[in-house]
Amino acid sequence: MSSIPSNSENTPHILVLGIGGTIAGLAQDPTNPTEYQAGQVGIDTLLARIQEGIPGSVKLVSRQLANIDSRDLSEDLLTLIGNTVKESLQEPTVKGIVITHGTDTIEESGFFLSATCGKLAEKLSKRIVLTGAMLPSNAPQADGPQNLLDSLKWASTAPENCPGGVYAVFAGKVCLARDLAKRHTSNLNAPLMDSPSSSIGLINPSWVSRVRAIQAACGEDLPIPEGVWPWVEILTSHAGARSQAIDAIVGAGVQGLILAGTGLGGLNQAWLAPLKQAQAKGIALVRASRTGAGLTVVSKDDLICQLAGGLSAPRARIALQLALNASATSKSLTWQDFFARIAVLPEFR
Ligand code: SIN
């Protein structure tokens, strides 16, 4: 573990984990920040650049877990992030954890950490905070430094003001990480555009009540997979969908499918027969919606399968992988039981 100079792991601190992303990106020409490479600058350098803004009472220890463009986020890396967070949370000197991450797949990591470490963080009254940026670190208006400062502030906010748990901070706001999803290609607040959130500076009590209600509805943390994760793919239903697509992926050995249907979760008729055959072979099916918001409901077709509730397809994919993994070693609970524990929550909006 590499420390920011003068900070020791033996004194109370916030642990900052660098994963990469645009926040650590560099543009060849800073005046043209749309052309850049993500994951170029180390976490210590990013922290050194904001050192003046960090209150003297907040001590930091940093660790570079990866430095990638998050489109390449792998399941092995998710396992490493999850295990690091879980172990670190249990260290008495770690008061909170900030993770700098690419925004493209922050939705997956946010949901994964919520489902595997959320209850532990809540129990220990510690905050895990994900953040990132939409502009590379050398852009004149780079948003990363402020997002990182805000995240450190949120991670070190007194527990009386908001419960421990897994959060995300962007553009001056905070939301639950399980609500976070990049919903615009370039807006500075793209990762939390549609998420119920509060301002960092003035915590909104009705948002805190919502946080508590969601936390109360979530079941126990699921185990982090060891080794190879179950193979789950997302298939989007669309005009002209063909049965051969289902046959091909089932033939290749997929273990689960997230079916991102149209509207409420409707699936093209061409898929129904091969999906029923897949289900009969034991392939786990979850019906989501490609619309981007709202609940999936039991559809008019006769394919009976698990519903994703309000989860987007990428979140439902992580949920199904964790559920399949947990059920493989459970004597009494099915993957559907585990999926419901983390995915099927009442609507609070
Ligand atoms: C990435 O996800 O690593 C690149 C995009 C971003 O961070 O905004």
Which of 70, 101, 148 is the best mutation target for the ligand 1 pocket, counting ligand atoms within 8 Å of the beta carbon and taking the most? 70
User: What is the C-alpha to C-alpha distance for residues 305 and 286, in angstroms, rounded to an integer?
Assistant: 6
Rg (CA), the chain: 20
- Amino acid 206 reads S
User: What residues in the chain have per-residue pLDDT under 70?
Assistant: 1-7, 344, 346-349
Task: Say if 2-217 and 232-343 have the same CATH topology.
Answer: yes
Q: What is the pLDDT of residue 4?
A: 53
Give pLDDT, residue 346. Answer: 64
Rounded to whole angstroms, the Cα distance separating 198 from 196 reads 7
**So where are the chain's domains?**
2-217, 232-343
For the CA of 71, the closest atom of ligand 1 is: 2
| CA 152 to ligand 1 center in whole angstroms | 20
Cβ atoms of 63 and 42 within 8 Å: the answer is: no
Q: How far is the CA of 67 from the centre of ligand 1 (A)?
A: 11
- Ligand 1, atom 2: nearest CA belongs to which residue? 102
- Strand partners for 166: 128
> Is the CB–ligand 1 distance for residue 174 below 6 Å?
no
Neighbouring C-beta atoms of residue 250, cutoff 10 Å: 17
Q: Rounded CA gap, 169 and 130, in Å?
A: 6
pLDDT at 5: 47
pLDDT at residue number 9: 81
Q: Residue 343: what pLDDT?
A: 82
Q: Are 278 and 257 in contact (CB under 8 A)?
A: yes
| Distance from the alpha carbon of residue 297 to the mean position of ligand 1, in angstroms | 32
137 C-beta closer than 6 A to ligand 1: no
Backbone angles phi, psi at 260, to 5 degrees: -85, 95
Residues 6+ apart with CB under 8 A from 86: 116, 117, 120, 224
Helices of type H across the chain:
43-49, 75-89, 106-123, 144-155, 205-217, 243-251, 272-280, 313-328, 335-343
Contact 9, 3 (CB under 8 A): yes
| CA-wise closest residue to 107 among 163, 153, 166 | 166
What's residue 348's pLDDT? 55
Q: How many CB atoms neighbour CB 329 within 10 A?
A: 8
The CATH code belonging to domain 232-343 is: 3.40.50.40
For 255-274, how does the pLDDT look when each residue is reduced to its tens digit (9 = 90+)? 999 999 999 999 999 999 99
Which superfamily does CATH assign the domain made up of 2-217 to? L-asparaginase, N-terminal domain (3.40.50.1170)
Interval 101-136: pLDDT, tens? 999 999 999 999 999 999 999 999 999 999 999 999
SS3 for 31-69, per residue? CCCCCEECCCCCHHHHHHHCHHHCCCCCCEEEEEEEEEC
